[in-house]
Structure 1
Amino acid sequence: MDDADLQEIVEMEVREILTKYDFDGQGAKCIRGSALAALGQATHELYSSKQIGELLDAMDTGLLIPERAKDKPFLLSIESCYNIAGRGAVVTGCVEHGVIKPGADAEVIGLTKTPLKTGIMSVETFKKTLDVGEPGDNVGVLLRGLRKEDLHRGQALVQPGKYEVFFNFESQLYILKEEEGGRKKPFFSGFSPQCFVRTADVQTAIKLPEGKKMAVGGDHFTAVLKLQAPLPIYVGCRYALREGGKTVGGGVITKILPDEASDLASLSKKKTPASGSKKK
């Protein structure tokens, strides 16, 4: 797109959109360039690889690196599992808390109440072996003594004894309006959408607070949620609710509630975990 006037219009529209969503649209730095010219696949009078360098410099100076929770016990939510012939099972995912080191003992928890004991044999990312995996890193972890069939998407690889799994929790819940992509109709206690916590998705039943007969888009309230299978959750953990392929709500866990006898009884009847078999 070589038309300077058209480029100016596009920049103005982008700045307006940023301002609309409470970003500093007027103060944002805009760098014009051409990816094809930077790669040498096209020639341009104004653009080359120089603009890519300017973009990286602007990112280095303008974007703050978020603080990572390195001091917490490690937790990696499992995204996928593989068997490597002659070596064992590999799980992939993003490190959420703590640091993962080869040689450390670990547990796989979630979807059942019994943890699987294992150990970390190696940590890799993009075909590079790491001495340590830190929060925010997408890594592959080779596990000792387990196979792919033992593992499921939505479980978590954690430091032994540092995390527990629960069925029930209390949270601050927000229901999306229809114009935000939420439900058109209200729902009542017992509504059971899919609850997404990190890579896990399990069916959950919502119990509305006493005195609230139904929930509609735009409501913000405290609710009790019961998961179909236990997950490693904690106060401050975020989740999303989805129904029919679209997000209908989300919230933050404010209190962990004890398991009930009916939860454990229903879990004992299941032969396979409730999450991780299909990608939504």
Structure 2
Amino acid sequence: MEEGPGEPFLMDIEDVFRRNQGRVVMLTGRIGRGRVRKGDEVAIVGFGGGAIVTVGDIEACRRYIDEASTGMNVGLLMRGVAAGAVERGQVLAAPGSISEHTRFAADIALLSEEHGAAEVRTGDRLQFHIRTAVVTGDVTLTRETDVLHPLHRGDVTITLERPVALEDGQSFAFRHLGRAAGSGVVTLVLG
């Protein structure tokens, strides 16, 4: 992904490590867009996060650097992050650039039966993989459709159990009955 001018920083949190008896936290992940510098303030978004924290140090390839940008896998060291305040599935972002939501409209496509898809009906509980977050949610089909069959696509509304960082146009995958079932794209964030 090319970095465009003025793109706000966004990084998916893949892992959380505690150092120095828990006083320092390293958040690792890949920067999806923008850039971050030592000393920048970033927001923790998703799962009811919302805290603003300051980047203490940036680690890449086992050395400290002053700045990191799109496509880099890094560790961001933060001081003063409360235990349990951050976890895999959340994102770090420029404050105010992205928000968390539990409800959205989407266009989904089911895999074939041979690849694990099963029929999807209103009320089915699916497991959604959005960025690095894994969260359960309920599906509501459009009124014209009673059931989606394998290899079909359709418009749905999804209500998640926990809020995650969402944007229009964001892709995701989902599992049904414990098996990979399909993928989708957020068409409209609802709430």
Scaled to the shorter chain, the TM-score interval is over 0.9
Residue 171 of structure 2 is aligned to residue 238 of structure 1:
yes
Query: Is the 1:80–1:153 Cα contact (8 Å) retained in structure 2?
Result: yes
How far apart are the structure 2 equivalents of 1:127 and 1:70? 28
Residue in structure 1 matched with residue 8 of structure 2 by the alignment: 73
Seen in structure 2, the aligned counterparts of structure 1 residues 244 and 200 have a Cα distance that, compared at 3 Å, is: same
Q: Which has the larger radius of gyration?
A: 1
Residue 38 of structure 2 is aligned to residue 102 of structure 1:
yes
Give the alignment of 1:196-275 within 5 angstroms: 196-258=129-191
What letter is aligned with 2:142?
P
How far apart are the structure 2 equivalents of 1:74 and 1:256? 20
Structure with bigger RCO (C-alpha 8 Å, 6+ apart): 2
SS of the aligned residue for 2:119 comes to coil
How far apart are the structure 2 equivalents of 1:175 and 1:228? 22
Structure 1: runs of 5 or more not aligned: 1-65, 259-280
Structure 2: runs of 5 or more not aligned: none
Query: Is the 1:190–1:206 Cα contact (8 Å) retained in structure 2?
Result: yes
What letter is aligned with 2:145?
K
What letter is aligned with 2:170?
C
How far apart are the structure 1 equivalents of 2:55 and 2:93? 10
Query: Is the 2:2–2:70 Cα contact (8 Å) retained in structure 1?
Result: no
How far apart are the structure 2 equivalents of 1:70 and 1:192? 40
SS of the aligned residue for 1:72 comes to coil
Query: Is the 2:168–2:186 Cα contact (8 Å) retained in structure 1?
Result: yes
Q: 2:69 aligns with which of 134, 153, 165?
A: 134
Give the alignment of 1:167-206 within 5 angstroms: 167-179=102-114, 181-183=115-117, 185-206=118-139
How far apart are the structure 1 equivalents of 2:5 and 2:57? 19
How far apart are the structure 2 equivalents of 1:247 and 1:155? 22
Q: State the Cα deviation string for residues 71-115 of structure 1 (Å, max 9, x = none).
A: 311111111101110651110011111111111011111011x50
Q: 2:27 aligns with which of 70, 78, 91?
A: 91
Deviation, structure 1 residue 255: 0.6
Query: Is the 1:70–1:134 Cα contact (8 Å) retained in structure 2?
Result: no
Give the alignment's Cα RMSD to 1 decimal.
1.6
How far apart are the structure 2 equivalents of 1:149 and 1:125? 24
Deviation, structure 1 residue 148: 4.6
The structure whose residues are more often strand, as a share, is 2
- Tell me how many residue pairs correspond in the alignment: 190
How far apart are the structure 2 equivalents of 1:71 and 1:242? 35
TM-score by length of 2: 0.93
The structure whose residues are more often helix, as a share, is 1
SS of the aligned residue for 2:147 comes to coil
What letter is aligned with 2:121?
F
Query: Is the 1:70–1:135 Cα contact (8 Å) retained in structure 2?
Result: no
Q: State the Cα deviation string for residues 107-137 of structure 1 (Å, max 9, x = none).
A: 111011x501210011111202122211111
TM-score by length of 1: 0.64
